A and B are shown apart, each in its own frame.
Chain A
């Protein structure tokens, strides 16, 4: 076969490839979700975007499972305003651009009434802007950056998870009083990490502590050794890990292998059940804040929620992320019921100041969407990771700090919502 022949063959094949590829892509794009509802009533539709693939897939999975459980519960109890609730879930892959694309599709194809979701801050900010432009209610499940309900707040955006400030304020007192005032930070080098470090630094300064140093680590760092060498050189009282997800897993694993957890206190802002699960038993340690924990024997409804979640997810225990998805879905349904309408403005108004009932809040104390900035204020759970603990008993809650006590007042957070 000479070269010319080969070339020609290539071209035909390439075209076929492109055609088939294009057809397959188109099919995927046009593929519509099959609805299982045969009800005569028009369903109330919520579009959810969350990562099902990529780094944040585990966290997204928990949020989606929680939301689906809420959907099932609501429909079992007769739906909202006598109409079924329908959840459409799309994969954001943790990418802001993809998240917005999927939202746009949810609006135009599925004609959803409300939007919710996203694990990470960047996607949340992007979706928040998108929702505001299209005048749709958006309930953020899991993006923590302060500005979402601060300087970038929108009248159509509500947030169920806490702010970065609340994450740091949750366990700061505990760490400071217990271990000392000289801190070293391992900070992920993007908005979320910078915000966390600034928040901790502010609180440290206030009480006379100081920052011994900080390492800015690129997102997706696999080897933390060199940062840890620098950290150890300053021998801090507290080694404060602000990294999240896989980075946190890698960092904690390496800290134990180097035995550093024995010479300094290790802690940080946000701990979640998912990364703890991914750590070997010996690498489970330290002081952190959780935003919700499944083991709350004294709080009503929690045990039954855990049971129904386990039944729905094949034996998994709910994490804080599961609760975000669960509470957000219920909150939208409650607001619609209160507004007696799916009109965006009316639902927004109904959601302002909405207090989650105990069977949804699943926390001691109040859980209220603050009218001034649309941030849910609910309890935070600082505590200690059970050393060498076995799943699911991985965390010991030291206390539940009421959100209203530690959240910055809306006047300070920089949020100015137009008066309705």
Chain B
């Protein structure tokens, strides 16, 4: 730990330049916020961020699994749901909007799947990738046309917008709520997939779609349902993101990549893997920030690259799936 603290001080000095370095050293001691504590804070905070990445990754992983679609429009759907929530919030309140807006986004997803994505099943995944990439641009422009290019504020309930303790100021009710939703969401999805007929079919479809179809399951309906559930998850993640980030038409862009990385690291086809992947990259980014903030964004891609070299299927991915 001593070496870690020295490294941190050195890193801080690098960042502050000559002016700050002399003044910085005694400050840490006098404040009672020790270097170890900062590291702990950052790790802890990283896990919170990671839970959020995981939440975003869930829907994406679901759609990737059964619909065989790399959904580049996932971020755009997040933003769309958040804008729906922004419009609904004055009428339904935050909680009402949190429930209704993802369903609306899911309805849009339903139309998109029925009219567009369905036509491309059975083709190379590149086709749906291009389609959803285009869709992302269209949705973004649609948002810009309807709600304007200037960002809009989505208000979160006053009761959640406070830090729970002065020392652990980064622990707000809202962030804990996000973590809870991520955990509950994963749990619920797991339960659906494990115990319901729909879930069992989805999993069976993941494994062998043709056989499932031959056994009399309407796989088109199944895939539609799966896509809509995925978009609803995107919607929930989008609204929660808009609570702590600015809501503007491009919001989804920045959120999409960490979600993809979480899936690749966690393993395609495994929801638990996506969850773990999210937590892992979140924590890694948090720890990196303690030492060298400028690298905190790069580190998640570094982890992804390492994972692809060492274990291409990811932490918990199925062997051979998109490997």
> Pick the contact of A281 from B28, B38, B153, B248 — CB < 8 Å?
B153
A266 to chain B, nearest CB (A): 14
**From A10, A61, A189, A214, residue with most partner B Cβ within 10 Å:** A214
Known contacts A226-B45, A226-B46, A234-B27: A54-B151 contact under CB 8 Å = no
B15 near A282 with CB under 8 A, answer no
Q: Could you tell me if A214 and B16 are in contact, using CB atoms closer than 8 angstroms?
A: yes
Q: 8 additional contacts, CB 8 Å, given A58-B151, A275-B151?
A: A54-B250, A211-B20, A225-B45, A230-B42, A257-B172, A274-B151, A278-B150, A278-B152
Sample 30 A-B pairs with CB under 8 A, ordered by A number.
A10-B123, A10-B124, A57-B144, A58-B151, A211-B20, A213-B16, A214-B20, A216-B293, A217-B293, A225-B45, A226-B45, A226-B293, A227-B289, A229-B41, A229-B42, A232-B33, A235-B27, A246-B151, A253-B244, A257-B161, A257-B162, A257-B174, A258-B170, A258-B172, A259-B162, A260-B169, A274-B150, A277-B153, A278-B153, A279-B246
Closest 8 pairs between A and B when the two form their complex, measured CB to CB = A278-B151, A249-B246, A226-B289, A280-B153, A57-B149, A211-B20, A58-B150, A58-B149
Residue of B nearest to A52 (CB): B149
What is the CA–CA distance of A225 and B52 in the complex, to the nearest angstrom? 13
Q: Does A178 contact B (CB under 8 A)?
A: no
A61 to B249, CA, bound (A): 13
Q: Inside 8 A of B248's CB, which chain A residues have their CB?
A: 55, 58, 246, 249, 278
* Chain B minimum-CB-distance residue to A226: B289
Interface residues of A in 1-52 (CB under 8 A from B): 6, 10, 13, 52
Q: Is the CB of A53 within 8 A of B169?
A: no
Chain B 122-162, CB-CB to A under 8 Å as 1, else 0, gives: 11100000000000000011001000111111111000011
Instruction: Tell me the bound Cα distance from A24 to B38 in angstroms.
Output: 54
Q: Could you say which of A220, A235, A278, A281 has the most chain B C-beta atoms within 10 Å of its C-beta? A: A278
Residues of A within 8 A of B247 (CB): 278
Q: Is A221 an interface residue (CB 8 A)?
A: yes
Chain A positions 379 through 412: 1 when the CB is less than 8 Å from some CB of chain B, otherwise 0: 0000000000000000000000000000000000
Q: Are A212 and B250 in contact (CB under 8 A)?
A: no
One digit per residue, 1 when the CB lies within 8 angstroms of any chain A CB and 0 when it does not, for chain B 238-261 equals 000100111111110011000000
Contacts of B246 in A (CB 8 A): 246, 249-250, 253, 275, 278-279
Contact A212 B290 (CB under 8 A): no
Which of B15, B20, B247, B290 has most chain A Cβ within 10 Å? B20
Is the pair B150, A61 in contact by a Cβ cutoff of 8 Å?
A: yes
> A222 touching B254 by the CB < 8 A rule?
yes
A233-271 interface mask toward B, CB cutoff 8 Å, 1 = contact, 0 = none?
111000000000010011001101111100000000000
Q: Which of B15, B16, B49 contacts A223 (CB 8 A)?
A: B49
Decide if B17 is an interface residue (CB 8 Å cutoff).
Answer: yes
Identify which of A225, A253, A283 contacts B49 (C-beta below 8 A). A225
Give, as a whole number of angstroms, the nearest-CB distance from A321 to chain B.
11
Which residue of the partner chain, among A58, A210, A234, A280, contacts B155 with CB atoms under 8 Å? A280
User: Are B19 and A204 in contact (CB-based, < 8 A)?
Assistant: yes
**Which of chain A's residues have a CB closer than 8 A to the CB of B141?**
53
Interface residues of B in 277-323 (CB under 8 A from A): 285-286, 289-290, 293-294, 296-297
Contact A229 B245 (CB under 8 A): no
Whole-angstrom distance between the alpha carbons of A30 and B151 in the complex?
A: 32
Which of A249, A250, A258 is most buried by chain B, counting CB atoms within 10 A of its CB? A258
B93 within 8 A of A: no
The answer to whether the Cβ of B23 comes within 8 Å of any Cβ in the partner chain is: yes
B19, B251, B294 — most chain A CB neighbours (10 Å) = B19
Which residue of A is nearest B249, CB measured? A57
Interface centre among B144, B153, B249 (most CB of A within 10 A): B153
User: How far apart are the CA atoms of A349 and B20 in the complex, in Å?
Assistant: 46
B161 A230 Cβ-Cβ under 8 A? no
Interface pair A230/B20, CB less than 8 Å apart: no
Q: Which residue of B lies closest to A232 (CB)?
A: B169
| Chain B 173-193 interface residues, beta-carbon cutoff 8 Å to A | 174
Q: Which residues of chain B come closer than 8 Å to A6, judged between CB atoms? A: 122
Distance in Å: Cβ of A54 to nearest Cβ of chain B:
6
Q: Does A218 contact B (CB under 8 A)?
A: yes
Measured in the bound complex, the distance between the Cα atoms of B148 and A197 in whole Å is 32
B254-A213 in contact (CB<8A): no
Tell which of A215, A229, A253 touches B170, judged by Cβ atoms closer than 8 Å. A229
Residues of B within 8 A of A232 (CB): 33, 169
Does A107 sit within 8 A of B, measured CB to CB? no
- Determine whether B12 belongs to the interface, using a CB cutoff of 8 Å to chain A: yes
Q: How far is the CA of A282 from the CA of B244 in the complex (A)?
A: 12
Q: Is the CB of A211 within 8 A of B17?
A: yes
Cα–Cα distance between A17 and B287 once the two chains are bound (Å): 46
The 8 Å CB contact of A257, one of B45, B163, B254, is: B163
Contact across chains for B296 and A226 when beta carbons are under 8 A apart: yes
Q: Is B111 an interface residue (CB 8 A)?
A: no
Does any Cβ of B come within 8 Å of A228's Cβ? yes
Assess whether B170 is in contact with A233, with CB atoms less than 8 Å apart.
no
Q: Enumerate chain A residues within 8 angstroms of B140, measured Cβ to Cβ.
A: 53
Complex contact B172–A220 (CB within 8 A)? no
Q: How far is the CA of A182 from the CA of B20 in the complex (A)?
A: 9
Interface status of A366 (Cβ within 8 A of chain B): no
Cβ of A205 within 8 Å of any chain B Cβ, yes or no, is yes
Residues in A with CB closer than 8 Å to B144 are: 53, 57
Complex CA–CA separation, A217 to B292 (angstroms): 10
For residue A201, CB closer than 8 A to chain B, the reply is yes
Considering the chains assembled together, what is the distance between the CA atoms of A377 and B245 in angstroms? 35
Question: Taking CB as reference atom, which chain A residue is nearest B140?
Answer: A53
Known: A205-B19, A278-B153, A278-B247. A212 touches B24 (CB 8 A): yes
* Chain B positions within 8 Å of A53 at CB level: 140-141, 144
Which residue from chain B places its CB closest to the CB of A61 in the assembled complex? B149
Interface string of A187-218 (1 = CB under 8 A from B): 00100000000000100110000111111111
CB pair A249 B245 closer than 8 Å: yes
